[in-house]
Amino acid sequence: MKLAGYGEDRLVSELTRALATDENVRVGVGDDCAVIGPRSAKMWQLLKTDCLVEGVHFSPDADPKKIGWKAMARALSDLAAMGGLPRYALVTIGAPPSENVSRLKAIYAGLKLAARRFDLRIVGGETSRAPALFLAVTLTGEVERARCVTRSGGRAGDLLYVTGKLGGSIRGRHLDFTPRLAEARWLTENFRLRAMMDLSDGLGADLPRLARASGVGFEIFENKIPRHRGCTVRDAIRDGEDYELLFSISPRDGVGLESRWQKKFPKLDLTRIGKLTNRKSKIENRKSNGFDHFA
């Protein structure tokens, strides 16, 4: 059987079935980051790896500095989704012998720029020959135990929020977005979030993942989904690469959230797009609402 049409989530779930774990694995495969540490530790370590492939995540004529930025920012977006702070990065670059050294240097400058901007240190990596350019970035981070937010904490009745606007990322935003680290840190400092993830494959693919991880369903007010200019609702649900935060919060804990957000981040939308419900929402069963890497 070929990978095409097999389904990325199915593949991952089959590959990683029955993985061994230990007493310090707080969260393993299946969330935005792995979370490691003794149950009662004050700080937990976050581990995240991600990759960028030419022709898949960027086109050959993309600004190389932005390629590097994106490679780092994608993994940072996952740290943000757990409420974490970045610490260290390892960067692997695979490239064909015909690759231009100056392009690689510009890509690395983009990696360094993102590292500086978000206060993390590149401490290692690897280089290899490869048929096409790819980057693999691994980050370590930290999060206070009390502020660590997973995908699986959502409960029926929670309000669902997204930051920013969705859709149309392919027109350029996917190469120079800002991972929502500051926003996530402010949220976990001031509010008790129940579940959170970053939107990388599109709301239509990612929200069902959050709901499944939490064992609940969801209801979305489609006309409330914040859209970038020129985007339809369908675009906002399916395009992907938004790198915005999707989170749930209980109605009681969410009191004052919208007004305080607006004061703190006046330039960035925060929109209530629906709620978590008891299991088996209709929308959850709709197919192909987002990006599948192998479809």
Query: What is the footprint of its own copies within residues 17-46 (CB under 8 A)?
Result: 19-22, 25, 28-29, 33-34, 36
Is residue 106 within the footprint of its own copies (CB under 8 A)? no
Is residue 95 within the footprint of its own copies (CB under 8 A)? yes
What does the DSSP 8-state code read for residue 205? Answer: H
Answer for which of 43, 62, 63, 125 binds its own copies (CB under 8 A) is: 125
CA distance 9 to 280: 18
Per-residue binding letters, 178-197, with its own copies (x by CB under 8 A) = --------------------
In sequence order, what are the beta bridge partners of 270? 163
What Cα–Cα distance (Å) separates residue 120 from each residue in 111, 112, 268?
Answer: 11, 9, 24
Is residue 113 within the footprint of its own copies (CB under 8 A)? no
Answer for which of 76, 115, 159, 276 binds its own copies (CB under 8 A) is: 115
Answer for which of 69, 77, 118, 140 binds its own copies (CB under 8 A) is: 140
Is residue 129 within the footprint of its own copies (CB under 8 A)? yes
Stretch that binds its own copies, among 114-122, 171-179, 202-210, 257-265 (CB under 8 A): 114-122
- Looking up tokens 């939490």 gives 214
Q: Which is nearer to its own copies, 82 or 203 (CB)?
A: 82
The answer to whether residues 268 and 212 touch, using CB atoms and an 8 Å cutoff, is no
In sequence order, what are the beta bridge partners of 140? 47, 88
Size of the site for its own copies (CB under 8 A): 69
Q: What is the DSSP string of 145-186?
A: GGG---STT--TT-EEEEES-BS-GGGTGGGS----HHHHHH
The contacts of residue 17 (CB under 8 Å, 6+ apart) are: none
Is residue 126 within the footprint of its own copies (CB under 8 A)? yes
Neighbouring C-beta atoms of residue 33, cutoff 10 Å: 26
Is residue 104 within the footprint of its own copies (CB under 8 A)? yes
Answer for which of 3, 41, 170, 255 binds its own copies (CB under 8 A) is: 3
| Shortest Å, Cβ 83 to its own copies | 17
Q: In what order do the strands lie in the sheet with 195-198?
A: 195-198, 245-249, 159-163, 270-277, 217-220
Q: Which is nearer to its own copies, 112 or 192 (CB)?
A: 112
CA distance 16 to 9: 11
Stretch that binds its own copies, among 110-118, 204-212, 234-242, 243-251 (CB under 8 A): 110-118
Pairing type for strands 159-163 and 270-277 reads: antiparallel
Q: Provide the binding-site residues for its own copies, judged by CB under 8 A.
A: 1-4, 6, 8, 11-12, 14-16, 19-22, 25, 28-29, 33-34, 36, 47-51, 53, 55-57, 87-88, 90-102, 104-105, 108, 112, 115-116, 121-132, 134, 136, 138, 140, 293-294
